[in-house]
Amino acid sequence: MSKAASQSRADWTFKVITAACALVVIVLMGGILVELLRNSGMSIRQFGFGFLTSTEWNPYAGEFGAASSIFGTVVSTAIAMLLAVPLSLIIAIYLVEVAHPKASRIIGGGIELLAAVPSIIYGMWGLFVFAALMQEHVQPWLGKYFGFLPLFQGPPMGIGMLTAGLILTLMVLPFITAVTRDVLQMVPPVLKESAHGVGATMWEATRHIALKYGRRGIVGAVFLGFGRALGETMAVTFVIGNSHRISSSLFDAGNTIASSLANEFNEASEPIYLSSLFELALVLFLLTLLFQTAAHFWVSRMQRQEAGDR
Amino acid sequence: MRPRSHTARRLADRSARIVMVPAALIGLTVLAWILWEVIARGAGALNASFFTELPTPPGMEGGGLANAIVGTLLMTVLATVIGTPVGLLAGIYLAEFGTTSRLATAVRFTTNLLMGTPSIIIGIFVYALIVLRTGHFSGWAGAVSLAILMLPVVLRTTEDMLNLVPDELRESALALGAPRWRATVTVIFRAAKTGLVTGILLAVARVSGETAPLLFTALNSFYWPETINEPTANLTVTIFNYAMSPYADWQQKAWGASLLITVGVLFVAVLSRFVLKERKSRA
Amino acid sequence: MMKVAEMESPEVAKQHPIQEHAVPNDKPREERASFLEPPSEVALSRAGEPEDVASLTSKVTVRNLNFFYGTSQALFDNNIDIPEKRVTAVIGPSGCGKSTHIRVYNRIYELYRTHRAEGQVLIDGVNVLDPGVDLIDLRKRVGMIFQRPTPFPMSIFDNIAYGLKLHYHVNRSELTDRVQDALKRGALWEEVKDKLDEPATAMSGGQQQRLCIARAIATEPELILMDEPCSAIDPVATAKIEDLIQQLRDDYTVVLVTHNMQQAARVSDFTAFFYKGYIVEFGATKQIFTNPAMKETEDYITGRFG
């Protein structure tokens, strides 16, 4: 074979090999879906759509329902997002617009380190340190002043839905803060000067102009944070209490899909039990897929809107 | 048209500035608090036997987590060996061949999806794929699930780093007559080397603290990891098991292991950031 | 400040602080290079007859202004009187301090920690560098246009309305009237009246810059600062903006920083020439371009540097 021909054969091989590796990602995702579907088949056939709405969770009777897990996942994530998003925005604005550059670097670095701390460490700290604080100080205080709300009723146990939500807040916060900070730093200085030139204060200019300018990146970050909170496992497992009851009080124990899986997967003795857990996993998988796809399309729609109808 | 009060507007601005400070300090405070607790509670457990001995039966004092340390290192290295080449090659495909191809767009989208998939789902997937089929838990199932977690990180970093290499460099290598694969591997890699190392470091940092994917693959063990074809001891699942146990000695060991993990992960994270900054300042 | 009359005498010129550089232009008239190339006679004829600055009211009076970027000094003892309701051009080579100088007028430099101004800048008799000055009020009265168009990420209507809603309680109908008025005075109304709700970023560069001018006008400033407003705009749009500047003269005091001498000649009544942070010469535009008193000015205008 001529040198040119063998070279182009080598190049073709190179292209094929690298393409095959790229394809692995798609194969993996497909594989996950296939395996989850296969192994939840028994549960799907037995419980049907009722699985999603049933609050039953009785391993002995072989009755399973995802409602309490879905409820717990949604509530803990909601708490985390409601607290983390405003806090993240404020911290990011502080880092970019107000803080002395040195302070900004130190605090910003600290926040990035927080993002690197593994979930299980949050779990340890949550269970042995934070839960004690919740039980001895925070929950009694909330019960005393806000106990008229069903949310804050019941004995303060330290662990439970509220604690799980707060730990999730701490885990999601660094990520959204870091991205928002980066987004705000990319706002063109002339635009900020323009806003100040018209007479806006820092707070006005940032709220009306800078945040608007970077809204695409910020929305993307919030979506990603939400997705992370949905699937967060170890930290939540440590502090949520693993109860399959739906309760109106945040002080009570609960469970999320991820925490149930972590706690019970290796205990599942019966095939129907295991299959139900697989179905739970499938629900979580589809939830996060759906969510990420929605986020992707929302953000690209924003991008098209920003470009205008040129 | 009545003017709006300047005093009120300035007050709002000043109040916002004041409120921001404690908010920003929350982050630092929590970090310091967590680190403090981990160090304070874990340091006491890190004696010589922690690093050299096997666990004792439940309830008995003494012993160590030497097997778990070895197991974690083993599986992390194995995962890196499995996941990095695939991620590298995939990243090369996206950067060099796939700027507009449909396959590349699909792969990029799917990589995002994979990165957002909870690690426990990955663990359950590998459980179904390998553990159910082989009939037992194993260290290499654990390594595979960690590798799946590393893959998108390495892929993304490789693609980003290669995209930073200017086209002129590529073109001059090709103009000299080098075949495509040679141009990529030698010229471009050399240019993007630091970035690639960073990507691998980031991926390692990501998986070394992971627990969920190992829960149903490697499980845990009280013995030395002699072969990886059996449940393999590891630090993270040990922390989970020990923390949930009623034994004070085990709980303290869990803190010791937590300290070890935290130091390791933060060290790698800081290192990779340092390497990245170094590269940026040289660029 | 160097009045036109004072500049003609070489003895007075020697007292000018930029001693080592400034050399009065004492060549006989006939031997001086012809200045009719850049800028052209046609351009200068628009500038009108040279007025005596001494006879006009000053909108901005600058005394002993020094400016620092950290430890390095960028402006040296600037003294100038900007006449009211006229267009004053500020010219000079890159890095001579012209942008830096006008950015002191509305204290926009204060956004940056290490930037510092010393001296006095009196607008209508009040020193705006005084820490007690109401910054919001100052920036309401002084509008600024930048080198790149800076439309806010909102609709055209909201862009113009932004300043009004910021500073006033204004109901919807009055807002609509004022927005329309500002767009008309900014020579943009006809082009955008049907698409006020479209994003401002969808407009062309020239339109965006006119939007920025209209936005600045909406809050009825007295002084408009323009920092090379046409440097990112195509020639056709530039011509429209230059026409607009001429119209603005009737109601506003305009200070226009430009690196384009033809533009300065076409559009301005007075011109200040900056060099290395000093104000070398200031006078009627026609005089500066046909009969500059300083050698540096002549060198710059004939293209010998910058």
| CATH assignment of the domain containing C118 | 3.40.50.300
In a domain, C259, yes or no: yes
* Tokens 């970035």 sit on residue: B195
Q: SS in 3 state form for A225-288?
A: HHHHHHHCCHHHHHHHCCCCCCCCCCCCCCCCHHHHHHHHHHHCCCHHHHHHHHHHHHHHHHHH
pLDDT at A308: 57
- Count how many domains chain C has: 1
More confident residue, A25 or C25: A25
Give the C-alpha separation, B56 to B61, whole Å: 7
Q: How many CB pairs under 8 A join A and B?
A: 254
Whether residue C166 and residue A204 make contact (CB cut-off 8 A), yes or no, is: yes
Give the C-alpha separation, C276 to C95, whole Å: 7
Position C37 confidence tier, pLDDT thresholds 50, 70, 90: very low
Residue C20, domain extent = 4-147+228-301
Helix (H, G, I), strand (E, B) or coil at C260: coil
Residues 6+ apart with CB under 8 A from A229: A76, A77, A80, A81, A168, A171, A172
What count of other Cβ atoms lies within 10 Å of the Cβ of residue B275? 16
More confident residue, B269 or C73: C73
Angle at B256 between CA B253 and CA B259, to 5 degrees: 155
Residues of C within 8 A of B9 (CB-CB) are 136
Residues of B within 8 A of C167 (CB-CB) are 3-4
In a domain, B8, yes or no: no
> Distance from B160 to chain C by nearest Cα, in Å?
29
Q: Name which of B86, B151, B216 is nearest A266 (Cβ-Cβ).
A: B216
Give the C-alpha separation, B19 to B277, whole Å: 32
Whether residue A308 and residue C201 make contact (CB cut-off 8 A), yes or no, is: yes
In single-letter form, the type of residue at position B154 comes to V
- β-pairing, A57-58 with A63-64? antiparallel
Q: What is the mean predicted confidence (pLDDT) over A30-58?
A: 93
Give the neighbours of chain A: at least 3 Cβ pairs within 8 Å: B, C
pLDDT at B226: 86
Q: Which domains does chain A have, with CATH numbers?
A: 50-307 (1.10.3720.10)
Angle at B165 between CA B161 and CA B168, to 5 degrees: 165
pLDDT at C19: 41
Picking from C261, C256, C253, C175, the residue whose alpha carbon sits closest to that of residue C218 is: C175
Q: Is the pLDDT of residue A12 over 80?
A: yes
Give the C-alpha separation, B262 to B43, whole Å: 12
Q: What share of chain C is helix, strand, coil (3-state, %, to 5)?
A: 40, 25, 35
Whether residue A209 and residue C215 make contact (CB cut-off 8 A), yes or no, is: no
Q: What is the mean predicted confidence (pLDDT) over B187-194?
A: 71
CA dist B120 → A232, A259, A280, B117, B213 (Å): 9, 10, 12, 8, 5
C197 within 8 A of C156, measured Cβ to Cβ: yes
Mean pLDDT, rounded, of chain A: 92
- Taking the Cβ of residue A128 and every Cβ of chain B, the question of whether any pair is shorter than 8 Å is answered with yes
pLDDT at B60: 82
> Distance from A55 to chain B by nearest Cα, in Å?
22
Q: Name which of B111, B181, B215 is nearest A25 (Cβ-Cβ).
A: B111
Position C11 confidence tier, pLDDT thresholds 50, 70, 90: very low
Q: End-to-end distance of chain B based on CA atoms, in angstroms?
A: 55
- Taking the Cβ of residue A276 and every Cβ of chain B, the question of whether any pair is shorter than 8 Å is answered with no
Picking from B144, B127, B156, B125, the residue whose alpha carbon sits closest to that of residue B79 is: B144
Whether residue A91 and residue B109 make contact (CB cut-off 8 A), yes or no, is: no
Picking from C205, B113, C201, C157, the residue whose alpha carbon sits closest to that of residue A303 is: C201
pLDDT at C279: 93
Residues of C within 8 A of B6 (CB-CB) are 134, 136-137
pLDDT tens digits, A242-295: 899 999 999 999 999 999 999 999 888 889 999 999 999 999 999 999 999 998
Residues of A within 8 A of B124 (CB-CB) are 36, 261, 265, 278, 281
Residue B246, domain extent = 48-282
Q: What is the per-residue DSSP string for C97-142?
A: SHHHHHHHHTTGGGGSTTEEEEEEEEETTEETTSTTS-HHHHHHHE
Interface test mutation site (partner A, options B181, B185, B255, max chain A beta carbons within 10 A): B181
Region class of C86: left (phi > 0), else alpha (psi between -120 and 50), else beta: beta
Residues of C within 8 A of B2 (CB-CB) are 168-169
In a domain, C19, yes or no: yes
What sign does the dihedral A45-A51-A52-A58 (CA atoms) show? negative
Q: Is the pLDDT of residue C3 over 60?
A: no
pLDDT tens digits, C252-292: 999 999 999 889 999 999 999 999 999 999 999 989 998 88
Give the neighbours of chain C: at least 3 Cβ pairs within 8 Å: A, B
Q: Is the pLDDT of residue C17 over 60?
A: no
Q: Is the pLDDT of residue B254 over 70?
A: yes
pLDDT at A79: 96
- Taking the Cβ of residue A297 and every Cβ of chain B, the question of whether any pair is shorter than 8 Å is answered with no
In a domain, C214, yes or no: no
In a domain, C200, yes or no: no
pLDDT at A5: 73
Q: Is the pLDDT of residue B181 over 80?
A: no
pLDDT tens digits, C173-191: 999 999 999 999 988 999 9
Q: Is the pLDDT of residue C30 over 50?
A: no
Q: Is the pLDDT of residue C14 over 50?
A: no
Mean pLDDT, rounded, of chain B: 89
> Distance from B2 to chain C by nearest Cα, in Å?
5
Q: Is the pLDDT of residue A109 over 60?
A: yes
ipTM computed for the complex: 0.92
- Taking the Cβ of residue B280 and every Cβ of chain C, the question of whether any pair is shorter than 8 Å is answered with no
Q: Name which of B24, B181, B211 is nearest A14 (Cβ-Cβ).
A: B181
- B-contacting residues in A 53-82 (Cβ below 8 Å): none
In a domain, B13, yes or no: no
- Count how many domains chain B has: 1
What sign does the dihedral A190-A192-A195-A197 (CA atoms) show? negative
Q: Side-chain half-sphere of C63: how many Cα atoms within 13 Å?
A: 9
- Taking the Cβ of residue A96 and every Cβ of chain B, the question of whether any pair is shorter than 8 Å is answered with no
Position A1 confidence tier, pLDDT thresholds 50, 70, 90: low
Cis check for the bond before C229: say yes or no (omega within 30 of 0). no
Q: What dihedral do alpha carbons B215, B218, B220, B221 form, nearest 10°?
A: 170
Give the C-alpha separation, B81 to A67, whole Å: 41
For residue A202, give the chain C residue with the closest CA.
C111
- Taking the Cβ of residue A98 and every Cβ of chain C, the question of whether any pair is shorter than 8 Å is answered with no
For residue A206, give the chain B residue with the closest CA.
B13
pLDDT tens digits, B117-145: 999 999 999 999 999 999 999 999 999 99
Give the C-alpha separation, B92 to B154, whole Å: 11
Q: Is the pLDDT of residue C237 over 60?
A: yes
Residues 6+ apart with CB under 8 A from C106: A197, C128, C138, C139, C142, C144, C225
What does chain B come to in residues? 283
pLDDT at A163: 96
Helix (H, G, I), strand (E, B) or coil at A155: coil
Interface test mutation site (partner B, options C136, C165, C220, max chain B beta carbons within 10 A): C136
Q: What is the CATH number of the domain that holds B141?
A: 1.10.3720.10
Q: What is the mean predicted confidence (pLDDT) over C203-218?
A: 94
In a domain, C25, yes or no: yes
- A-contacting residues in C 52-111 (Cβ below 8 Å): 106, 108, 111
Look at B24-38, C37-51, C134-148 and tell me which has the smallest mean pLDDT. C37-51
Q: How many CB pairs under 8 A join B and C?
A: 19
Residues of B within 8 A of A17 (CB-CB) are 89
In a domain, C206, yes or no: no
Helices (H), chain B: 6-43, 48-52, 66-92, 102-116, 119-126, 132-134, 139-164, 167-175, 180-182, 189-208, 212-215, 235-244, 248-282
> Distance from B107 to chain A by nearest Cα, in Å?
6
Position C49 confidence tier, pLDDT thresholds 50, 70, 90: low
pLDDT at B212: 94
The pair phi, psi for residue C10, each rounded to 5°, is -60, -30
- Taking the Cβ of residue B133 and every Cβ of chain C, the question of whether any pair is shorter than 8 Å is answered with no
Q: State both tokens at A222.
A: 């919030």
pLDDT at C306: 57
Q: What is the mean predicted confidence (pLDDT) over B165-179?
A: 79
Look at A1-5, A33-37, C99-103, C147-151 and tell me which has the smallest mean pLDDT. A1-5
Give the C-alpha separation, C54 to C83, whole Å: 9
Residues of B within 8 A of A230 (CB-CB) are 118
pLDDT tens digits, A181-218: 999 999 999 999 999 999 999 999 999 999 999 999 99
Facing residues of C91 across strands?
Answer: C273
pLDDT tens digits, A69-98: 999 999 999 999 999 999 999 999 999 999
Helix (H, G, I), strand (E, B) or coil at C198: coil
- β-pairing, C58-69 with C72-83? antiparallel
pLDDT at C15: 38
Give the C-alpha separation, A72 to B12, whole Å: 38
Position C10 confidence tier, pLDDT thresholds 50, 70, 90: very low
More confident residue, C283 or B199: C283
Whether residue A233 and residue B26 make contact (CB cut-off 8 A), yes or no, is: no
What does chain C come to in residues? 306
Residues 6+ apart with CB under 8 A from B99: none
- β-pairing, C142-145 with C87-91? unpaired
Whether residue B1 and residue C170 make contact (CB cut-off 8 A), yes or no, is: yes
